[in-house]
Structure 1
Amino acid sequence: MADARMAEPAIERPGLVATIAGRIVLFACIAMALQLVIVFATYYFDDVELGSLIVDRETAILAEGIHRRDGQWEFRLPDGAEAYAPGSETRLARIRSERGSAIFSNCGDRCVLHLLPEEVDPPDRWTRLLGASKPLRVAGGRAVEIDGQRVVIEVAVLDENEIAMWRALGHEFADHLAVPMSLQLVLILGGSLASAWLALQPVKAAARQAGAIDPLDPDHKIDVSRMPQEVAELGAAVNRSLTRIGGLMRDQRLFNTAVAHEIRTPLAMLQLELGQIDHPRARRMEQDVEALARLVGQITALGRLEALERKSFAPIDLAALGRGVVASTGPWVYDNAHSIAFADEGAAVIRGDPGLLEDALVNLVTNAVTHTPPGTRILLRAGPGPRIAVIDGAGAYRDRTPDGRSGDRLGMGLEIVKRIAAMHGGRLDLAVDPGRRTVATLIFSAAPRQPSGPPSAAPPPA
């Protein structure tokens, strides 16, 4: 439960890409707000520049209503230019062709008061302030090209409000601030997110590698070759820690194996000496010494298992392996008043270490003999496919001692079998039918090929 509580905050935290995106948008909004203030202050307090903006915007709106049809100029008030309707007192407009002919005018004689005289050839752009305070009153004009012809548009804004000024400022903000900043934000945001995503791919791969690290494989390390330098340093530190931990584990395994080897010789001598004593108590001691010898053998097998490297794996025919185990364990099985047989049901070929798999099968056969009554028949069955099983006809394989532990010395034998199976990409499956039979099956993930030949059964060894 504690681990689950510790993992929850990590799951709820936002990803780095989302964090970068949020911060880019935040600072972009702050930059846009500051630039908005700067642009507003620059134009609002400069009446000449602001007047030019008003004239440019108003003439641009009127230019949308000018058309040429059958060689004749036509004008229709566009949307947003209703204030320039004929007879308007606050918005004056006059539109002339390059030759001076009138296209539109809503001011009549009043045009002379604020606009250029008709006999004057107007410049391409002009502006004149009609007042020194807000709301701004301004007159001006601009020459535009429509259908390849020069047209002069002149306006006078005499409003007592600031509608024209705010419209000009709004257009300036949209044209020169909002659109460029939005494009820049999209490019910067997209580029930053893409860069962060690409930079994090090696980190995600390293996380997957770290989750799949096999503690029994000393060469299994995190690949830091494609990581950014800062993250690669963390990965290298993790690899150094794994190397140190692997060294400690190897030293511990060597110590355990050395101790087991040192004990085996005295135990063998003790068994020989006990064999010379003709006494019931000596027989009971022989049983205890034999059990201790099996425990030492299991410790040695465990050390050998942990020291093995997977690159030494070779193809193994499970049928041939099973026959060999039956042949080697047969005399001992019969000495313990049991029987053993072998059956090949189309076993596959897998990759692995023959010695380790033989140790696993010997452990299963030993447990089957130890935990079943005399006269029990044991069958070692190879196949079908990448599996091999040890079957006894008693169904007492998983009986427990009073302290709740397995009878094979704290369950070490079964643990070794499970670890050997896991090292070969498989698992140990136990199926118990109490009083009838127990099936202990080593199931592997795949088989490179199926061996040829019909299923066969080997006779029990003599």
Structure 2
Amino acid sequence: MSRKRPSLKWPLIIQPLLLQFAIVAASVAITVAVATRADSGGPYTDETITPVIADAIVRSADGSLAVRSTPQLAALRAETPAMWFMAEDDSGRRVSYGQVPAQYARVTGLLRNLAYGHVRDRLPPYALTAVIRREQSPVGPLTIMGHGKLNELTFTIMLASTLGALPILALMALVAVFAIPWIVKRSLAGVARIADEAKRIDAGRRGVRLSEEQVPREIAPLVRAVNDALGRLDEGYERQRRFIASAAHELRTPIAILRVKVDAAQEASTRRLGSDIERLANLAEQMLDLQRLDSTWTDKEFDLASLLRRVAGDLAPLLIAGNRSIEVIVDEAQPVRGDASAIERVATNLVQNAIDHGGRHVTIRVQGAAFEVEDDGPGIPPDERERVFEPFHRLRPRSTGSGLGLHLVQQVVERHGGRVSILGAAGGGTIARVEFPPMGPLPLNTP
């Protein structure tokens, strides 16, 4: 089982996010430690008692303040039996509850001038620890000083730090979910573009290089290495192409001399070498055809039906001499764009291939931007129909063919953006079907 390839995108997102969370956690811990160190005066009175106290204060008929019993107040008293408080309005009227320490009982008229504060004593049981808050009550604004449930300093600071850190954490989460992926995607856009360019590299195109513009600096060495490799491949292909072309050209002269000498020979055994020389000449021409694909390519619109009629006319004498026949059937005519001479060699190769494999009657059928060459020979086995396009592959080892004809056909058709396939005919023969990109119907008066 192959291992899953590591992703570059997710480490760029997850690792910065984890680092940010670690920094925030460390910052909160340092803040708590510093705050605890700076303020160790003892516990605080819970501030939540003052709204309950304010709700329990009413005004008597004479205008004085009084405390009424409420379930919430009773719950506070049950939780902290030593709870006490005193409240004062803006007129100086005052009410107290519980055992107010003597130090605070003497404070009169002072509370109404205060709004917020915490008072703590240093030693247990911390009876002087109190909170001062200004609250709205049923009788109007009151300033309340009270003692109730005690909270340790560390808990208060941690709660405040956590509440303060929550918006930061939420903002970091939003940044991680939306901003960081967008930044990473934008940063890797050059890599994605290079990948698209690499997908479009075709074996039939030379001189193609990956663009090094807008590529991240870390990826640029890889792109340059790929371009260098493509350059070396182009140089190797060019050397191979020149060798094939030179070899094919050099072979034509001695082949022609051999053909003349064999044709003029008196001995029958020597003249029988003519078929081998013809095969050698055909191989040299097909090698030149492969070389011409890159050097003499033209791109023009032509009439496919007329081209195929011309091929059939050129080959008809050869077929008739061998007691064979050929016909062209045009079901629909459409123009094709490309190299007409290359397509003519394709059709010639397909007809010759049909003859070489036992076809007595060859039918060329034009169907729009496609055509078929059908023969009535023994056919090609299904498991061989893809392999026949491989270079130098012959269906029968002792066949007289060179093994380059169908490979040349495939190269030319694919250069035109089309496809060639081998099918089985209804009568047991073979159909070679060639399809080109359609361009539209021809006028009705097209021959």
Which category describes the TM-score, using the shorter chain as reference length?
Answer: 0.7 to 0.9
The whole-number CA distance in structure 2 between the counterparts of 1:77 and 1:412 is 108
Partner SS state of residue 218, structure 2: helix
Q: Structure 2 residue aligned with 1:380, among 361, 364, 367? A: 364
Pair 146,427 (structure 1): closer, same or farther in 2 beyond 3 Å: farther
Pair 158,212 (structure 1): closer, same or farther in 2 beyond 3 Å: closer
1:46-61 aligned within 5 A: 46-47=38-39, 54=44, 58-59=46-47
- Cα pair 1:260 1:300 within 8 Å, conserved: yes
TM-score (norm 1): 0.78
Alpha-carbon shift at residue 50 of structure 1 (Å)? 7.5
The whole-number CA distance in structure 2 between the counterparts of 1:186 and 1:402 is 65
TM-score (norm 2): 0.81
Q: Are 2:304 and 1:318 equivalent residues in the alignment?
A: yes
For residues 169-212 of structure 1, give each alpha carbon's deviation from its aligned partner in whole angstroms, at most 9, with x where no partner exists.
Answer: 34312222233233134325532221112233442342233233
Q: Are 2:25 and 1:33 equivalent residues in the alignment?
A: yes
Q: Structure 1 residue aligned with 2:326, among 335, 340, 348? A: 340
Partner SS state of residue 219, structure 2: helix
Pair 140,315 (structure 1): closer, same or farther in 2 beyond 3 Å: same
Partner SS state of residue 14, structure 2: helix
The whole-number CA distance in structure 1 between the counterparts of 2:338 and 2:68 is 90
Residue aligning to 1:391: 374
Greater CA deviation, 184-193 or 207-216? 184-193
Partner SS state of residue 288, structure 1: helix
1:58-457 aligned within 5 A: 58-59=46-47, 62-63=50-51, 84-85=76-77, 88-101=80-93, 107-110=97-100, 112-113=102-103, 117-120=107-110, 121-131=112-122, 138-143=129-134, 151-157=142-148, 159=150, 163=151, 165=153, 167-188=155-176, 190-307=178-295, 312-372=298-358, 376-383=360-367, 385-396=368-379, 405=397, 407=399, 409=401, 411-433=403-425, 436-444=428-436, 446-453=437-444
Q: How big is the alpha-carbon RMSD for the aligned residues of Structure 1 and Structure 2?
A: 4.0
> Gapped runs of 5+ residues in structure 1?
457-462
- Cα pair 1:377 1:393 within 8 Å, conserved: yes
The whole-number CA distance in structure 2 between the counterparts of 1:323 and 1:13 is 56
The whole-number CA distance in structure 1 between the counterparts of 2:425 and 2:403 is 20
The amino acid across from 2:442 in the alignment is P
The whole-number CA distance in structure 1 between the counterparts of 2:275 and 2:212 is 54
The amino acid across from 1:156 in the alignment is H
Alpha-carbon shift at residue 440 of structure 1 (Å)? 0.7
Pair 17,154 (structure 1): closer, same or farther in 2 beyond 3 Å: farther
Alpha-carbon shift at residue 74 of structure 1 (Å)? 12
The whole-number CA distance in structure 2 between the counterparts of 1:79 and 1:306 is 97
Alpha-carbon shift at residue 338 of structure 1 (Å)? 2.4
Pair 263,75 (structure 1): closer, same or farther in 2 beyond 3 Å: farther
The amino acid across from 2:370 in the alignment is R
Partner SS state of residue 110, structure 1: coil
Alpha-carbon shift at residue 255 of structure 1 (Å)? 1.3
Alpha-carbon shift at residue 291 of structure 1 (Å)? 0.6
Pair 13,397 (structure 1): closer, same or farther in 2 beyond 3 Å: closer
Pair 132,139 (structure 1): closer, same or farther in 2 beyond 3 Å: same
> Gapped runs of 5+ residues in structure 2?
none
Alpha-carbon shift at residue 404 of structure 1 (Å)? 5.4
Pair 362,153 (structure 1): closer, same or farther in 2 beyond 3 Å: farther
Alpha-carbon shift at residue 437 of structure 1 (Å)? 2.3
- Cα pair 1:342 1:379 within 8 Å, conserved: yes
The whole-number CA distance in structure 2 between the counterparts of 1:439 and 1:221 is 39
